[in-house]
Structure 1
């Protein structure tokens, strides 16, 4: 991270100036929200894919937790754009955050100031000619919390403790990522990505009622699939459904579309449907797909 690539409470700061207080409520209790937005280098410009959708979800998440942003959607959008242009990166990752700051220790938020910050970091992404890198997934012993335990449709910081625990467990077993089940034993998602199966040419993905975060990449993939004449079904997926599928892939802003090589003894590889959608997604995020061009926000790139 280079100095000057942070925006907090309406001003640009360096890394040191933007450091959160050690008594910050968000640090102690994980009470905060965030977003992850990708920027893609396209010639001398940077393409931000579905920026408005990401920032609308950011606002909804803050509203669900009752965190006052103190800045309009237009102000936060402009902060993201200005900061990304100033950073001068090509491929990059942008993270807006909202959290309560310092004060007396305790779980209450009354009297605490809420902060809104944006950081930008370089995130190189090579385009692939044949297929994206495959990953191995392990079913986690940690279950996803039920919908009556946490606000699952808000992208909250504290909820990702569950994901970190599962991913650490997966890495210890030699896998790349964790697959989580719900309290009822249905397939939920991966540590930071949604799950799709392909069987007989039909795509299936767990519905919102399962408690999964309905990702923006997930939504894009469903749109691309329908545009290719494929059938997409949102319905509960059992572990047996998953293990007997023809193809399995994960979707997420950071992960993009990633084919699952194997889950335990079930081996999939990268099938034709996954390959098709992965290529289409590569084009969509760079403004190369008719019908999705208006989802891209184009920025100039400040290069030294």
Structure 2
């Protein structure tokens, strides 16, 4: 895989070690990250992604992030990757620390910053499955983009084993929440609705932009009320009474054409949302 990797103030070879064995991001998942699409050689919506990175770090209790170092890494990998880059990942961990879950005193913490750019595969549609596990909307990590991704790894592996590319999760109250790496939009009753953040869903950047750009283009798109989208709305998708789309930083807006192994129709609002987003994407690389 053609990767450009930056860590410790310089570019690294793909097989070069960049972490100590006691980095807290490695031992206990104590870190945050962001993934951006790379569009025409630039990281799309980088300002919004960096703001969310800092918000996730605050929520996790990490010290203030070395943002100058982060930006330096972004510039370096984008220049090194060239036109092949389609995805950028920024990871910041708590740095070297104890082998347990407790952290070093704040004055002794030295965060680790790793930035990677590489190719990305995109598809125009998506296949999704429901999985039996739930998002805990009362978790201290709810709504944060952290490196504690074990639940997502398990859920996505289930989806892949069933021939899908995304797993859909409810919250503990039986409300539709999100995918492992995507937000969900449901086309129902003449509107395009995305679950409330009260479900524990991540405030996705693509989700945020679609909620902004959609109404400007005349699309009836909004965030649902907290209890408006029950898990059972996915039965309506299977029955053809509703439609589904996924949003994410690399996938953009992708209508779902297969749910739980059954082909489903992509709705007209889902298609229009995809068109609107791709058109606006060309207007401004850092909206």
Superposition TM-score, scaled by structure 2 size: 0.87
Q: Identify the residue that residue 243 of structure 1 maps to in structure 2.
A: 235
Task: Give the superposed CA RMSD.
Answer: 2.3
- Are positions 1:23 and 2:22 aligned together? yes
- Are positions 1:295 and 2:273 aligned together? no
Q: Identify the residue that residue 300 of structure 1 maps to in structure 2.
A: none
2:174 to 185, 197, 205: 185
Instruction: Find the residue that maps to 2:133 and give its secondary structure.
Output: coil
- Are positions 1:96 and 2:90 aligned together? yes
Describe the shift of the 1:255–1:82 C-alpha distance in structure 2 as closer, same or farther (beyond 3 A): same
Distance 2:231 2:174 in 1: 8
Q: Identify the residue that residue 301 of structure 1 maps to in structure 2.
A: none
Q: How far 1:114 moved relative to its partner?
A: 1.7
Q: Identify the residue that residue 36 of structure 2 maps to in structure 1.
A: 37
Q: Identify the residue that residue 137 of structure 1 maps to in structure 2.
A: 128
Q: Which has the higher contact order (CA 8 A, sep 6+)?
A: 1
Distance 1:107 1:254 in 2: 32
Q: Identify the residue that residue 270 of structure 2 maps to in structure 1.
A: 274
Distance 2:282 2:79 in 1: 17
Describe the shift of the 1:264–1:70 C-alpha distance in structure 2 as closer, same or farther (beyond 3 A): closer
Describe the shift of the 1:18–1:66 C-alpha distance in structure 2 as closer, same or farther (beyond 3 A): farther
Count residues with an aligned counterpart.
277
Q: How far 1:157 moved relative to its partner?
A: 0.8
Paired residues of 2:193 and 2:222 also in contact (CA < 8 A): yes
Instruction: Find the residue that maps to 1:89 and give its secondary structure.
Output: helix
Moved more, 202-211 or 14-23: 14-23
Q: Identify the residue that residue 173 of structure 1 maps to in structure 2.
A: 162
Q: How far 1:151 moved relative to its partner?
A: 2.1
1:181-260 to structure 2, matched below 5 A, reads: 181-235=170-224, 236=227, 237-244=229-236, 245-260=241-256
Structure 2 gaps of 5+ residues are none
Q: Identify the residue that residue 141 of structure 2 maps to in structure 1.
A: 151
1:55 to 47, 50, 74: 50
Describe the shift of the 1:35–1:265 C-alpha distance in structure 2 as closer, same or farther (beyond 3 A): closer
Superposition TM-score, scaled by structure 1 size: 0.82
Q: Deviations over 1:149-176 (max 9, x none)?
A: 2321221010x21111111122223333
Distance 2:132 2:285 in 1: 41
Describe the shift of the 1:242–1:88 C-alpha distance in structure 2 as closer, same or farther (beyond 3 A): same
Paired residues of 2:7 and 2:73 also in contact (CA < 8 A): no
Q: Deviations over 1:203-235 (max 9, x none)?
A: 111111111101000011122220221222322
Describe the shift of the 1:65–1:119 C-alpha distance in structure 2 as closer, same or farther (beyond 3 A): same
Distance 1:143 1:200 in 2: 26
Q: Identify the residue that residue 264 of structure 1 maps to in structure 2.
A: 260
Q: Deviations over 1:92-137 (max 9, x none)?
A: 2111111133455222221453211211112255xxxxxx533322
Describe the shift of the 1:23–1:279 C-alpha distance in structure 2 as closer, same or farther (beyond 3 A): same
Q: How far 1:250 moved relative to its partner?
A: 0.5
Distance 2:221 2:30 in 1: 35
Q: Deviations over 1:234-264 (max 9, x none)?
A: 2231123233243210001122111111323
Q: How far 1:191 moved relative to its partner?
A: 1.2
Structure 1 gaps of 5+ residues are 126-131, 288-292, 297-304
Q: How far 1:268 moved relative to its partner?
A: 3.0
Q: How far 1:19 moved relative to its partner?
A: 2.4
